Chains A and B, each alone.
Chain A
Amino acid sequence: MSDRPILSAHRITHLYPTPRGEILALREVSLTLRPGEFVCLVGPSGCGKTTLLRILAGLLLPTRGEVWLREQPLRGPDRRVGIVFQKDSLLPWRTAMENVRLPLELGGWPPLEAMERAKELLEQVGLKGFEQAYPQELSGGMQRRVALARALAADPEILLLDEPFAALDAITRERLNEALVELWERQRKTVLMVTHDVQEAAWLADRVLIMSPRPGTIVAEIQIPFPRPRGADRWAHPAFLQTVWAIRQALGNGGG
């Protein structure tokens, strides 16, 4: 693992124009992702997490500041950066397989190869046998799995996840998080996941970044030292609970 950052944000400030004047959404946000890292971004709702993620994905140009992807500034969307949105973004007229295949189609893959790869990815996220199902026929958890497989299809180096499992019940969510970690351990993508769940962050991440309420800025960074795999027995370790508490405290200090 090299220590050279793969994606970095430098003093990102973002203003939103509204009819009643400008709103300062982000203030001087700087962060660095190193290759293969799993980083969680925690913050109160409305702190600009989604805005930050969209800026990192090149979907939104910040008012001030820069994003660098490896040695170059990011000027727009880049296929090396994949994003899974908070809201469901599966296309209802496409089957699970066709949804996963979409990035490959757009990238000009030969249809047969694209199909093979989409099938493989669906299998990896545990949806073998559901290739021909339409999104409406799948449960919420399964839909999120398809969305994840689709994000992986373009084979991005960095995966940005915007509260990907927020709308799910606790049990489904835990299973999906397990699946996500398993995928990450196998593929070693760099992951930045936005969440508002402190325990989730402590469980999944190598490092947790904590944001303040609006205007959002990063107020703390907490290393999670626990070895992987981190099973359900994490709850039996006082050190884990202490880390959860530390994140909770850092969030509280930010005024949330």
Chain B
Amino acid sequence: MLGKAAGWGIMGRSAIWLPRAGTVFLFVFLWSLLVRIGDYPPFILPGPERVAARLWALAAEGALWRHWWATAVEVGLGLGLGVTVGLALAYPLAHWRLFEQMMTPYLVASQAVPIIAVAPLLIIWFGPGLLARVLVSALVAFFPILVSAIAGFRQVPLEWRELFRSLQATRWQTFWKLEWPAALPVIFGGLKISATLSVIGAFVGELISADRGIGFLIKQGQGLYDTPLVFGGILLLASQALLLYGAISALEHRWVRR
């Protein structure tokens, strides 16, 4: 069993990356095929080479990195804040029924209202700066992690709880050595959803008010009928979601034993 796990390193990696590269290639190929067959004008559907050229031009101006980074900062802070608040609320919600009954309506309501409706309000309250966009991102990111962490804390098997009780573990020990590691696999599931949502949140914030960021680029592209720029922006957004997802999966691989 151990031998098999060790053998995974080299074989496993190429076994994953080869088909991945293949699907990317196929996607780009079908995309350019579609453009050629349909003979669409670039402002309707630009081919991959036009989008790549547009991104290249943006990079040459030095703007690409600046916008990408601006969004990345919002996503990072938004996700960090959302995860912190989500986890901090999850523990008392999982343990105290009364607190759960008091809070649940507000938590659910916060998710029932579309973020696009709340975002303008946050910008009125907190100004057009970074803070409002981080808050928009955090607001969508906190819910999945909250729900998954509550489920994770609650499904700790009774035998394990009794073991800790019989060993007279303190509340903190029970949390740190039992509840947290036991809930971690479930929390990671929620974290992955939160991560992708935090990108959407930051983007929505930028659409409404920003002078930089990928949302700003896309809005600009829309106004100028610079469709290659819009496509490029979409790819940039996707790149952030993918990067986050990959980083979280790597952490999960290291921390979670199945």
B162 at the interface (CB under 8 A from A): yes
User: Given the known A-B contacts A93-B181, A102-B177, A137-B2, are A154 and B167 also in contact in the complex, defined by CB atoms under 8 Å?
Assistant: yes
**Chain B residues with CB under 8 A of A92:** 257-258
A111 interface residue (CB < 8 Å to B): no
Does B181 contact A103, Cβ atoms closer than 8 Å? no
Residues in chain B near residue A136, CB distance under 8 A: 257
Band of interface residues on A: 20 to 34
Interfacial chain A residues near B162, Cβ < 8 Å: 54, 59, 83, 85, 89
Q: Which residue of B lies closest to A133 (CB)?
A: B2
Contact A59/B165 with A93-B257, A137-B2 known, Cβ cut-off 8 Å: yes
- Asked whether, in the complex, the Cβ of A134 is within 8 Å of the Cβ of B257, the reply is yes
The docked-state distance in angstroms from the alpha carbon of A57 to that of B2 is 37
Q: Report whether A103 and B167 are in contact in the complex, using a CB–CB cutoff of 8 Å.
A: yes
A83 x B166 contact (CB < 8 A): yes
**A87 on the interface (CB 8 Å rule)?**
yes
Q: Which of B1, B164, B167, B173 has its CB near the most chain A CB atoms (within 10 A)?
A: B167
Q: Which residue on B lies nearest to A58, using beta carbons? A: B166
Q: Which residues of A contact B178 (CB under 8 A)?
A: 91
A58, A81, A91: the one within 8 Å of B160 (CB): A91
Complex contact B257–A85 (CB within 8 A): no
Complexed CA–CA distance, A75 and B169 (Å): 16
Q: How extensive is the interface on chain B, given as a class? A: 20 to 34
Q: A105-B177, A106-B177, A137-B1 are in contact. Are A85 and B159 (CB under 8 A)?
A: yes
Assembled-state Cα–Cα distance A91/B184 (Å): 13
Q: Is B101 positioned at the interface, with any CB of A under 8 Å from its CB?
A: no
What's the dominant secondary structure at chain A's contact region?
loop
In the bound assembly, the distance between CA atoms of A54 and B165 in angstroms comes to 11
User: At the interface, is chain B mostly helix, strand, loop or mixed?
Assistant: helix
Q: Judging by beta carbons under 8 Å apart, are B166 and A57 in contact?
A: yes
In the complex, what's the smallest C-beta–C-beta distance from B166 to chain A, in angstroms? 5
Residue of A nearest to B168 (CB): A77
Q: Does A48 contact B (CB under 8 A)?
A: no
Q: Which residues of B contact A134 (CB under 8 A)?
A: 257
Chain A residue numbers with a CB within 8 Å of B181 are 91, 93
B166→A59 contact, CB < 8 A: yes
A77 touching B165, Cβ below 8 Å: yes
Cα-based distance from A89 to B178 in the complex (angstroms): 12
Q: Does B166 contact A106, Cβ atoms closer than 8 Å?
A: no
Instruction: Tell me if B163 is interfacial: C-beta within 8 Å of chain A.
Output: yes
Instruction: Give the Cβ gap from B82 to chain A, nearest Cβ, in Å.
Output: 25
- A80 CB → nearest B CB, Å: 11
Q: B167 to A89, Cβ gap below 8 A?
A: no
Whether a CB of chain B sits under 8 angstroms from the CB of A175 is no
Partner of B167, one of A79, A91, A137: A79
The answer for the CA separation of A79 and B182 in the assembled complex, in Å, is 24
**Bound Cα distance from A17 to B159, whole angstroms:** 20
Chain B positions within 8 Å of A, measured between CB atoms, are: 1-2, 157, 159-160, 162-169, 173, 177-178, 181-182, 184, 256-258
CB pairs A–B below 8 angstroms (28 shown):
A77-B165, A77-B166, A77-B167, A79-B167, A79-B168, A81-B166, A83-B162, A85-B159, A85-B162, A85-B163, A88-B159, A89-B162, A89-B163, A91-B182, A92-B258, A93-B182, A93-B184, A102-B167, A102-B177, A105-B177, A106-B167, A106-B168, A106-B169, A106-B177, A107-B167, A134-B257, A137-B1, A137-B2
Given contacts A77-B165, A79-B167, A89-B157, 9 further A-B contacts (CB under 8 A): A59-B162, A85-B159, A85-B163, A89-B163, A93-B256, A102-B167, A103-B167, A106-B173, A154-B167
